[in-house]
């Protein structure tokens, strides 16, 4: 889809770079637009992303997408979920590891949703809440990971790994990132946009 451009509404440069990587196979150009958007209080990342996408379209009046994610600790009923930013601000990564001491299995998972607003403002949702679970480390582990743009990477141990995502060797990180790209809601959006553009032509 050479020449296709879409705005991504985020203030997170790491999230933006990841979206660029995930949309690159379809030749989709991404423009980062930082907007001050309200975030509703709900456990559904899809509902939050839809709410933000509606707000963003009212401002930009052009195609855009919003991606939102959550971090779910299974034995806490999914908490903090989409409120993980507030949890990190309150407790920090070390605080979350201490809270995980109260659980039996320390099981956690990520979930994400991307919502695209088309030229008419109609919303299209791409959600994934079935990503492989991992565990919370006993303590934060600051590794040398080149793309660790979230503090969660210092405490998240992927399934089958023996150290946190940020501390894994580069080759193992690359394997996990490649797997995540295959499950990415942004990549699913890219595939859908490419198919829609082909049908339009």
Residue of 42, 88, 39, 27 whose CA lies nearest to 66: 39
Q: Do residues 41 and 106 lie in contact, with contact meaning Cβ atoms separated by under 8 Å? A: no
Q: Is 68 a catalytic residue?
A: yes
Residue of 147, 158, 166 whose CA lies nearest to 183: 158
Q: How far apart are CA 72 and CA 29, in angstroms?
A: 31
Instruction: Retrieve residue 12's tokens.
Output: 């997170």
Buried b (16+ CB within 10 A) or exposed e, 52-85: bbebbbeeeebbbbbbbbbbbbeeeebbbbbbbb
Cα angle 87-91-95, degrees, rounded to a multiple of 5: 115
Report helix, strand or coil for 160: coil
Q: From the candidates 36, 38, 68, 118, which is the catalytic residue?
A: 68
> What residues are annotated to the active site?
68
């Amino acid at each position: 889809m050479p020449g296709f451009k879409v705005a991504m509404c985020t203030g997170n440069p790491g999230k933006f770079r990841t979206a660029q990587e995930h949309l690159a196979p379809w030749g989709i150009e991404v423009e980062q637009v930082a907007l001050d958007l309200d975030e509703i209080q709900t456990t559904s990342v899809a509902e939050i992303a839809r709410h933000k996408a509606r707000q963003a379209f009212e401002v930009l009046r052009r195609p855009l997408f919003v991606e939102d994610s959550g971090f779910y600790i299974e034995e806490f009923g999914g908490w903090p979920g989409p409120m993980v930013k507030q949890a990190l601000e309150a407790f920090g990564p070390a605080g979350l590891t201490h809270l995980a001491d109260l659980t039996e299995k320390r099981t956690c998972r990520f979930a994400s949703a991307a919502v695209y607003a088309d030229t008419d403002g109609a919303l299209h949702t791409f959600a994934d809440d079935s990503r492989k679970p991992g565990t919370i480390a006993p303590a934060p582990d600051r590794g040398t990971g080149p793309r660790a743009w979230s503090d969660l990477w210092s405490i998240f141990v992927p399934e089958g790994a023996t150290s946190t995502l940020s501390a894994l060797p580069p080759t193992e990180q690359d394997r996990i990132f490649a797997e995540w790209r295959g499950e990415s809601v942004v990549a699913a959006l890219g595939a859908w946009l490419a198919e829609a553009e082909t049908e339009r032509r």
